[in-house]
Amino acid sequence: MKVQRYDIRDEMGAFVIRHWLPCNVPVFDDDGRLRYIMHQVEEVGAQPQGNPASPVEEEAPEPQKVLRQG
């Protein structure tokens, strides 16, 4: 998934620009059926890499491992 902008409030109540990297990983059972989707979000900072004035268009790397429920 792409880096996403989601602003949060600071201690004074003002919005602060933040960017987040979501990652979803499928979890399959022993028969290959999808059981769960693990969702994780990592804050990547106030400004994305590259040109801060441009919209966020970065692609996140695809998850490389598939989890199996045992």
Pick the residue with more confidence: 40 or 70?
A: 40
Q: What is the pLDDT of residue 45?
A: 78
User: Could you report the per-residue pLDDT of 21-60, keeping only the tens digit for each?
Assistant: 999 999 999 999 999 999 999 999 775 555 444 444 445 4
Is the whole-model pTM more than 0.85?
A: no
Q: What is the pLDDT of residue 15?
A: 93
Q: What is the pLDDT of residue 1?
A: 80
Compute the half-sphere exposure of residue 56: CA atoms within 13 Å on the CB side of its CA. Answer: 19
The residues spanned by each domain of the chain are 4-68
